[in-house]
Amino acid sequence: MYSGLRLIDKKSMSITESIIEYKDPEIVYIPLVNHSNMECQSLVEIGDKVLKGTVIGKRNDNIEMNIHSSVSGEVIGFEEKLYLSGEYVKCVVIQNDFKEKQAELTGVKDKITSYTKDKFIQILKDCAVTGMGGSDFPTYLKYIGKLKTIIINAVECEPYITSDFLVAILKTEEILEAIDAIMEINEIDEGIIAIRETDYQLKDKFETFLGTYPNIKLVLVKDLYPIGWEKLLIKELLGIKYDKNPMEKGIVVNNISTIFAIYKALKTKRPISRRIVTITGEKIKKPQNVIIKIGTPIVEVIKEIGGYKDETDIRFIAGGPMKGETLPNDNLIVTKNLYAVVAISSSCFSSPITCVRCGRCSNVCPNYLSPVLIRDRKKHFNILKSLHPEKCIECGLCSYICPSKIDVRESVIEAKKEIRRH
């Protein structure tokens, strides 16, 4: 059975004794983007006054998902800014008045288990809870229908990244309270928190509090990549396969930072306005995790924490080194789904040489694709279609393993786009 590869870890680099909060920026740039909807509709105009939590945009299709302001202040324009996908997207530009005035004053709810399922789904919509592990997928869509198992994905199997670990360590009790409430509201019988077997500190922390929650169990999974991928994780934990979506089998999987966002939504009925981002890599002077306001240009934060060791030869990646996107520069905006940025030396990536037909890229692919064949058949659409590049999860293992240093993943992603265009 496929289980993945053990990769270099490099996580200790960004774990520091305390976590800092970046001072609020003077200007925030809120991308009008949600998941695959790259052109959400703006609901504000230049000169409009907004509060923290004001709805400033929404999706332009039939999925209900709003975009909120993370500060109070005034809309001063619209600008294209770099998003974690590597694309430039339209953003609402807001001048921060630093008053932090809230759009809604709802108070804090003590007992979050008492919501009905309909109300729960409405809160997820109103607070725009989305996948914080990178996807930005609207979370409420995962809770429609009957569910029997919830899996909390705290595996964070990609090297260098520690933002989920930090959330789990710092907010253990809140996370357990949220899982308990989600299970009660949705009549879910089984709750599983999945962590890596080498995350000893996290294991101890959860075990300290789990006694109060008999329906939630902690399961340790092998420290292999990409074990945190939904399909592989469900297979590993439950021995269950699904076709398109875990909901087919009554299973919901949420990343642990998303669970914390659900907790905040249930407690305060407010959208999150900040998130933890891992800023790391050999080129960063002081790698660490930072709490950052949504809409902040990351370059401001990198400067604030000490900057780069040297400014030459940097490969700047949004997300992790395996699944992330290499960006042309560091003018990236912090969004709900930006969990990390990694700055490493470009010289780690030597120039590709000729493919030696070793087949290793096919052997490591978790979705049993043939990356090398997809790369060869890029121009032959019918053959390409039969090789199913659309099933690629962009894990990066094919490029990682390639002895000829070919970026096979990039070719498969291009093929994927080609299939979509037809």
Please give the residue ranges that form the binding site for ligand SF4 (CB under 6 A): 355-361, 364-367, 369, 371-372, 392-398, 401-404, 406, 408-409, 412
105 vs 356, beta carbon nearer ligand SF4: 356
Of the candidates 292, 294, 312, which has an alpha carbon nearest to the alpha carbon of residue 302?
Answer: 292
In degrees and rounded to multiples of 5, residue 206 shows phi and psi of -65, -40
338 vs 402, beta carbon nearer ligand SF4: 402
Say how many Å lie between the first and final Cα of the chain, rounded.
Answer: 34
> 193 pairs with which residues across the strands?
152, 218
77 vs 86, beta carbon nearer ligand SF4: 86
Q: How far is CA 53 from CA 26, 56, 68, 274, in A?
A: 17, 9, 5, 12
Of the candidates 295, 336, 348, which has an alpha carbon nearest to the alpha carbon of residue 159?
Answer: 348
Report the nearest approach of ligand SF4 to the CB of residue 378 (Å). 13
100 vs 394, beta carbon nearer ligand SF4: 394
Report the nearest approach of ligand SF4 to the CB of residue 323 (Å). 8
306 vs 359, beta carbon nearer ligand SF4: 359
- Separate counts of helices (H) and strands (E) for the chain: 12, 17
Report the nearest approach of ligand SF4 to the CB of residue 158 (Å). 12
Report the nearest approach of ligand SF4 to the CB of residue 365 (Å). 3
In degrees and rounded to multiples of 5, residue 70 shows phi and psi of -95, -5
CA 222 to chain centre: 21
Which amino acid would we find at residue 183? M
Report the nearest approach of ligand SF4 to the CB of residue 58 (Å). 32
Q: Under a CB-based contact definition with an 8 Å cutoff, are residues 74 and 49 in contact?
A: yes
Report the nearest approach of ligand SF4 to the CB of residue 354 (Å). 8
4 vs 191, beta carbon nearer ligand SF4: 4
DSSP 131: -
